[in-house]
Amino acid sequence: MSSSEVFQLLFNRSDWHCPVTCDSYIEESAIASCCVCNVEVKEKTMSTLNIVYDEVSEEAIINEPNVSHEFYKIQHKFDGVQKLPINLCNFTGIVEIDFSFNEIGNIDIISCVKGLEILSMYRNKIKYLKNDTFFGMNFLRYVDLSHNILKYIEPGLFMNMDGSLLWFDASYNLLTSMDVTNILRTKQPGFCRADFSFNQISKLTNELRWECKEDTQFGNGGLVDFFGNSFSDFFDFSELGFKNFFLFGKLLYYTFDFRGNKWTCDCRFYPFALKATLFAEKLDRDIYYLKCHSPSELKNVSLPELMKSKTLDLLICNLSIADRCPPNCRCFYQPAKTRTVVNCSRTGKTKLPSALPFKTDLEVDFSNNQISRIDNESVILSYSHTITSIDLSYNKLENLPDELYYKLRNIEKINFSGNRMKKIPRALQVLKPCHIYLGLIVLECKCEDNWIQNWLPSSHSKCYNNTRMFCYNKNELVNILSMTNADLGCKFYSEYILWLTISLAVIVFILAVSSTIIFYFRFEIFIMSRKLMKYLQTSEVRLELYTYDVYISCSEDDANLRRWLTSTLVPFLENENLRVFLPFRDSEFGHPREEEIIETMTKSLNFVIILSEHYDDYSETWIEKEWKYAWFNYKSDSQREIVIINYDMLEYKDIAKKYLGAFLKLHSFIDFSNHTKRINEEVYNSLQHVHKTVRKKSNKSNYHNSFKNNVIELETIMESNIKLKHHDKNCSSSEL
Note whether 99 and 120 are within 8 A (CB). yes
Mean pLDDT of 224-241: 91
Q: 580 and 700 share a domain? A: yes
pLDDT of residue 339: 94
Mean pLDDT value of segment 448-469: 88
Is a pLDDT exceeding 50 seen at residue 701? Answer: no
Is residue 652's pLDDT more than 70? no
Residue 561's contacts (CB-CB under 8 Å, 6 or more residues apart) are 554, 555, 610, 612, 647
Cα 91 to chain centroid, rounded: 60
What interhelical angle do 658-665 and 617-636 show, nearest 10?
70
Q: Answer whether the bond into residue 295 is a cis peptide, omega within 30°.
A: yes
Q: Is 732 helix (H, G, I), strand (E, B) or coil?
A: helix
Q: Kindly tell me if the per-residue pLDDT of 576 is higher than 50.
A: yes
CA 354 – CA 675 distance, rounded (Å): 86
Q: What are the phi and psi torsion angles at 250 (to 5°)? A: -65, -20
Mean pLDDT for the stretch of residues 653-678: 74
pLDDT of residue 147: 98
CATH code at position 655: 3.40.50.10140
Q: Is the dihedral of CA 199, 202, 204, 207 positive or negative?
A: negative
Burial 118-138 (b: 16+ CB within 10 A, else e): bbbbbbbebebbbbebbbebb
CA distance 86 to 274: 55
pLDDT tens digits along 589-612: 777 888 888 888 888 888 898 888
Q: How far apart are CA 508 and CA 502, in angstroms?
A: 10
Residue 112: inside a domain, yes or no?
no
Find the helix or strand (DSSP H, E) in which 98 lies. strand 94-98
Residues of the chain above pLDDT 70, percent: 88
CB 527 within 8 A of CB 663: yes
Instruction: Note the pLDDT of residue 281.
Output: 54
Check whether 730 has a pLDDT greater than 60: no
The conformation of residue 20, written as its DSSP 8-state character, comes to: G
Q: Identify the three-state secondary structure at position 66.
A: coil
**Listed range (173-177, 375-379, 577-581) with the worst mean pLDDT:** 375-379
Quick one: what percent of the chain has pLDDT higher than 90?
A: 32
335 Cβ partners below 8 Å, 6+ apart? 267, 270, 271, 315
Question: Which tens digits make up the pLDDT trace of 93-135?
Answer: 999 999 999 999 999 999 999 999 999 999 999 999 999 999 9
Q: Please state, in angstroms and rounded to a whole number, the distance separating the CA atoms of residues 144 and 167.
A: 8
Residue 244 lies in a domain: no
End position of a domain, from candidates 379, 414, 437: 437
Q: Is the pLDDT of residue 278 over 70?
A: no
Q: Are 543 and 429 within one domain? A: no
* Highest averaged pLDDT of the listed ranges 205-209, 547-551, 642-646: 205-209
Burial of 638 (0-12, 13-18, 19+ CB in 10 A): middle
Q: Are 352 and 371 in contact (CB under 8 A)?
A: yes
Listed ranges 587-591, 651-655, 724-728; the one with the highest mean pLDDT: 587-591
Strand 94-98's sheet: what is its strand order? 46-49, 71-75, 94-98, 118-120, 142-144, 167-169, 193-195, 223-225, 255-257
Exposure string for 392-428, b = 16+ CB within 10 A, e = fewer: bbbbebeebbeebbebbeebeebbbbbbebeebeeeb
Range scoring the smallest mean pLDDT among 162-171, 643-652, 719-728: 719-728
Q: Do the domain assignments include residue 707? A: yes
In-domain check, residue 398? yes
> By the 8 A CB rule, do 28 and 1 touch?
yes
- Span 369-388, average pLDDT: 86
Q: What is the mean pLDDT of residues 706-716?
A: 49
> Which three-class secondary structure string do you get for 488-507?
CCCCCCCHHHHHHHHHHHHH
The answer to the question of residue 703 being in a domain is yes
Closest residue by Cα to residue 666 from 551, 514, 529: 529
> Can you name the residues that pair with 333 across neighbouring β-strands?
317, 340
CATH number at residue 373: 3.80.10.10
Is the pLDDT assigned to residue 206 strictly greater than 60?
A: yes
The length of the chain, given as a count of residues:
736
Give tens-digit pLDDT for 606-638: 889 888 876 655 567 778 888 888 888 888 887
Judged against a pLDDT cut of 70, whether residue 698 lies above it is answered with: no
Residue range 22-49: mean pLDDT, rounded: 86
Question: Taking CA 96 as the corner, what is the angle to CA 92 and CA 102, rounded to the nearest 5 degrees?
Answer: 110
Q: What is the average per-residue pLDDT within 37-43?
A: 87
Task: Report whether pLDDT(483) > 50.
Answer: yes
- Please state the rounded mean pLDDT for residues 43-72: 87
Same-domain pairing of 551 and 691? yes
47: exposed, middle or buried (Cβ count in 10 Å: 0-12, 13-18, 19+): middle
d(CA 635, CA 568): 30
Q: Which of 677, 710, 723, 683 is nearest to 557 (CA)?
A: 723
**From its phi and psi, is residue 338 left (phi > 0), alpha (psi between -120 and 50) or beta?**
left
For residue 30, what are the domain limits?
3-37
Q: Which helix (H) or strand (E) holds 581?
A: strand 580-581
Range in 211-215, 269-273, 333-337 the model is least confident about: 269-273
**Among positive and negative, which fits the CA dihedral 194, 198, 200, 202?**
positive
Q: What is the rounded distance in angstroms from the CA atom of residue 90 to the CA atom of residue 386? A: 70
The band of 536, judged by pLDDT with boundaries at 50, 70 and 90, is confident
Q: In the predicted model, what is the mean pLDDT of residues 145-167?
A: 91
What gap in Å lies between CA 113 and CA 145, rounded to an integer? 17
* Domain match, 432 and 564 both: no
Taking CA 98 as the corner, what is the angle to CA 97 and CA 104, rounded to the nearest 5 degrees? 105
Identity of the amino acid at 382:
S
For residue 319, count other CB atoms closer than 10 A to its CB. Answer: 19
Q: What angle do CA 241, 247, 249 make, to 5 degrees?
A: 125
pLDDT at 726: 42
Q: Is 70 a residue whose pLDDT tops 50? A: yes
The residue type found at 261 is N
Contact (Cβ atoms closer than 8 angstroms) between residue 605 and residue 713? no
Helix axes 658-665, 522-536, angle to 10 degrees: 60
Q: Average model confidence (pLDDT) for the chain?
A: 84
Q: Are residues 560 and 683 in the same domain?
A: yes
The strand ranges marked E within 595-679 are 604-611, 641-646, 670-671
pLDDT for residue 700 is more than 50: no
Q: Which of 78-82, 667-671, 692-696 has the highest mean pLDDT?
A: 78-82
The full DSSP string for 662-680 is HHHHTT-SEETT-SS--HH
Domain ends where: 437, 468, 501?
Answer: 437
Handedness of CA 194, 200, 202, 203 (dihedral sign): negative
Specify the long-range contacts of residues 498-506, CB closer than 8 Å, at least 24 apart.
Answer: none
As a whole number, mean pLDDT of residues 234-259 equals 87
Weakest-pLDDT range from 31-40, 205-214, 273-282, 524-533: 273-282
Residue 720 has pLDDT above 60, yes or no: no
CA–CA separation, 16 and 32 (whole Å): 13
The CA distance from 421 to 373, in Å, is: 11
Q: Which of 123, 226, 236, 233 is nearest to 178 (CA)?
A: 226
Q: What is the pLDDT of residues 314-358, one digit of tens each?
A: 899 999 999 999 999 999 999 999 999 999 999 999 999 989 999
Classified as helix, coil or strand, 483 is: coil
**Domains in the chain, number:** 3
| Distant-in-sequence, close-in-space partners of 731: CB < 8 Å, separation ≥ 6 | none
CA–CA separation, 603 and 310 (whole Å)? 95
Domain boundary among 389, 422, 437: 437
Does some domain include residue 311? no
**How confident is the model at residue 703, as a pLDDT?**
43
Q: Please report the pLDDT score of residue 629 as a whole number.
A: 84
- Three-state secondary-structure class, residue 451: helix
Task: Kindly state the average pLDDT of the residues 139-164.
Answer: 92
Is residue 444 in some structural domain? no
Q: What's the confidence (pLDDT) of residue 220? A: 87
566 within some domain: yes
DSSP state letter for 389? E
Closest residue by Cα to residue 393 from 335, 464, 345, 358: 345
Q: Helix, strand, coil % (nearest 5) of the chain?
A: 35, 15, 50
H/E element, 60: strand 60-62
